[in-house]
Amino acid sequence: MSKSEPVGTVAGGEIKFAADRMLGRLAKWLRVLGCDVIYGHHLSGYGLIRAARAEARLILTRDRHLKQKQPPPFIFIHSDHYGDQLQQVIRECGLKPSGQLFSRCLECNAVLQTRNKETVQKLVPPYVYASQQSFSWCPVCQRIYWPATHHEKMLAALRKIAIL
């Protein structure tokens, strides 16, 4: 895809991504922003192309040779640094970074659900239960998330690279 084409219209609404296996850090940070991103070690070359086609996903790749394989729409990521990569995707896709922060599981990409505090008592360490008020839960991999310090660190990192 050339830079002048309107990437944001690819999926007819919210853009879904398929990140190649060289872009794990970018995939995680896009999930922090709430983006739907598949990522895994099987996602390169034709595997990446197949997966993107199956779910109408926009490919994010560092692979210079991918375009010879007649892929669906893709963005070639220029930088090796996740901050620059994230900025490139936000810019080219017209994403609004602050909209759905921390709404998606960073491990498996599922949309998180909020959990009442009482229902997580046996699932989190006592000090976490005592100090935190809001929890969210991944219905796929069962992870429990709470704001605490890691949210703050991630927000600080996003501010540092001028995303927020």
Residue 141 binding Zn ion, by CB under 5 A:
yes
In the complex, the smallest distance separating the C-beta of residue 119 from Zn ion, rounded to whole angstroms, is 17
**Residues binding Zn ion: what is the number (CB under 5 A)?**
7
In the complex, the smallest distance separating the C-beta of residue 110 from Zn ion, rounded to whole angstroms, is 5
In the complex, the smallest distance separating the C-beta of residue 43 from Zn ion, rounded to whole angstroms, is 17
Which range of residues in 10-18, 92-100, 109-117, 126-134 is near Zn ion by CB under 5 A? 109-117
Report the length, in residues, of the chain: 164
In the complex, the smallest distance separating the C-beta of residue 138 from Zn ion, rounded to whole angstroms, is 3
Give every CB contact of residue 45 below 8 A, 6+ residues apart in sequence.
63, 66, 69
Residue 108 binding Zn ion, by CB under 5 A:
yes
| CB of 74 closer than 8 Å to CB of 58 | yes
What is d(CA 97, CA 79) in angstroms, rounded to the nearest whole number?
Answer: 19
E strand or H helix at 86: helix 82-93
Residue 37 binding Zn ion, by CB under 5 A:
no
Contact with Zn ion (CB under 5 A) among 42, 53, 121, 140: 140
Which range of residues in 7-15, 65-73, 84-92, 98-106 is near Zn ion by CB under 5 A? 98-106
What is d(CA 90, CA 139) in angstroms, rounded to the nearest whole number?
Answer: 27
Beta bridge partners of 19: 60
Place of tokens 């992870």: 143
Place of tokens 């070359």: 45
Where on the chain is the footprint of Zn ion (CB under 5 A)?
Answer: 105, 107-108, 110, 138, 140-141
